[in-house]
Structure 1
Amino acid sequence: MTEVEKGPRGLRRGRGARERILGASQQLFRDQGINCTGLEQLCAVAQVSKRTLYQHFTGKDELIAEHLRRFDPDILPEVFERTDLTPRERLLAVFDIHAPLCPFIAAAVEIPDPGHPARVLARDYKKAFAGRLTEAAREAGADDPERLGEQLALLLDGASARSRVLNTDTFATAAAIAAVLVDNAIPTAAVPAAASLRS
């Protein structure tokens, strides 16, 4: 077993530093917010020096963007890529898999500059997420898949923000509302395309 090389003030450096920095940012950004997390604290939690942090990231802005890039790059594959669920079931399953507060919402709230890399990533993610919902709504036979996709995306974001503000779980209520929206948007005679081809 090799000895861990120590940097200034006995902090660990070298291999794994980038992952420790990203792990610390994930924890601190989630627990106390982006703006309340200083680089000194981040370095202390990650057990790296500021010099090491700057070797991996040009600054806090790049770190925030990389933190968001890694959050959900494939947009809920554990829901949208499941072949054992019908498209309708996928639309409702997104309400079972959630974070207390979506980091993209948190970043957009804390960073006022719409051109900031984190805000751009947040906007792109939210559009892509609504797009995945719209695609599932189309597969499920919704009369207006774009509208249903946007409604479900808005409902999920609202539940996420409300859960954070009230410090309570609002996703069960949101899931019940989502079921009504889905049932109203998908005609009862709608049959998934694959099933209709088999008949």
Structure 2
Amino acid sequence: MTELEKGPRGLRRGRGARERIVSASQQLFRDQGINGTGLDQLCTVAEVSKRTLYQHFAGKDELIAECLRRFDPDVLPEVFEHAGLTPRERLLAVFDIHSPLCPFIAAAVEIPDPGHPARVHARDYKKAFAARLTEAAREAGAADPEQLGEQLALLLDGASARSRVLDAEAFSTAAAIAAVLVDNAVPAAPSSAVVGR
């Protein structure tokens, strides 16, 4: 790094500052929580000054919302847009890959203001996630796809919260419960008739 790329206190500036700020925020918010992360610490980890941070973000609230927007902007496309999975497999695959440390739940817990941009984004994400599950349930032939989508969303959020609080692996138990829910909601495919004797 040349001297021109460093600020007066030796901090990096210029290109990449916004990405360093977001990356440091994601790490710190995940590791120690939103409220436990101060701007001084964030600037130190991102190697930027507070002035640089404020050039990119109006404040911590805007930064929190940006971190959530980037977490999973397309709502698990690796599951819901995977051509090789059947709708039933998609419904169950979310339990295999969903992050146990859901930042949307964490933000909703740590930020009491329902109008906060991060809370609004968390709410929108959770609705979009349930809608994706509902669509997969509809494609799978569920008798009541809205109910199954909501049940699976609630089960997944419960597993995420439980694993966060207890440091336990709740997702395997949740996946087993999800399989029962899906089997009960989706009619079994007709078995092939034995061709003439």
TM-score by length of 2: 0.94
Report % sequence identity: 86
Tell me how many residue pairs correspond in the alignment.
191
More off after superposition, 135-144 vs 162-171: 162-171
Deviations 1:79-136 (A, max 9, x none): 0000101000000000011212110000000000000000000000000000000000
Give the match for residue 44 of structure 1: 44
Other-structure match for 2:187: 187
- Letter of the 1:15 partner, please give it: R
1:177 to partner: Cα distance: 0.3
Q: Letter of the aligned partner of 1:162 in structure 2?
A: R
- Is the 1:140–1:190 contact (alpha carbons within 8 Å) kept by the matching residues of 2? no
Contact 2:100/2:159, CA 8 A, preserved across alignment:
no
Show structure 1 runs of 4+ deviating over 2 A. Answer: 1-4
Deviation for aligned residue 1:187? 1.0
Q: Does 1:17 align with 2:17?
A: yes
Could you tell me which amino acid in structure 2 is paired with residue 82 of structure 1? H
Q: Give distance in 2, aligned partners of 1:126 and 1:4.
A: 44
Q: 1:84 is paired with a residue of what secondary structure?
A: coil
CA deviation map 1:132-161 (0-9, x unaligned): 000000000000000000000000000001
Tell me by how many angstroms 1:2 deviates: 5.7
Letter in 1 for 2:98: H
Matched ranges for 1:51-66 at <5 A: 51-66=51-66
Task: Classify 1:143/1:4 alpha carbon distance in 2 versus 1 (closer, same or farther; 3 Å).
Answer: farther
1: CA distance, partners of 2:114 / 2:15: 35
SS in 1 for 2:97: coil
Match of 1:105 in 2: 105
Report 1:47-86 matches (<5 A): 47-86=47-86
Paired position in structure 1 for 2:195? none
Distance in 2, Cα, partners of 1:4 & 1:70: 30
- How far apart in 2 are the matches of 1:7 and 1:34? 27
> Structure 2, unaligned stretches of length 5 or more?
192-197
What residue in structure 2 maps to residue 89 of structure 1? 89
Aligned-pair RMSD on alpha carbons? Answer: 1.4
| Equivalences for residues 128-167 of structure 1 within 5 A | 128-167=128-167
Instruction: Indicate if the aligned counterparts of 1:11 and 1:49 stay in contact, CA closer than 8 A.
Output: yes
CA distance in structure 2 between the aligned counterparts of 1:35 and 1:68, rounded to whole angstroms: 15
Partner secondary structure for residue 160 of structure 1 = helix
C-alpha contact 1:141 1:190 (8 A) present in aligned 2: no
Aligned partner of 2:194 in structure 1 is none
Check conservation: 1:34, 1:110, Cα contact below 8 A: yes
SS at match of 2:168: coil
Q: Residue type of the partner of 1:18?
A: R
The answer to whether the Cα contact below 8 Å between 2:21 and 2:46 also exists between their aligned partners in 1 is yes
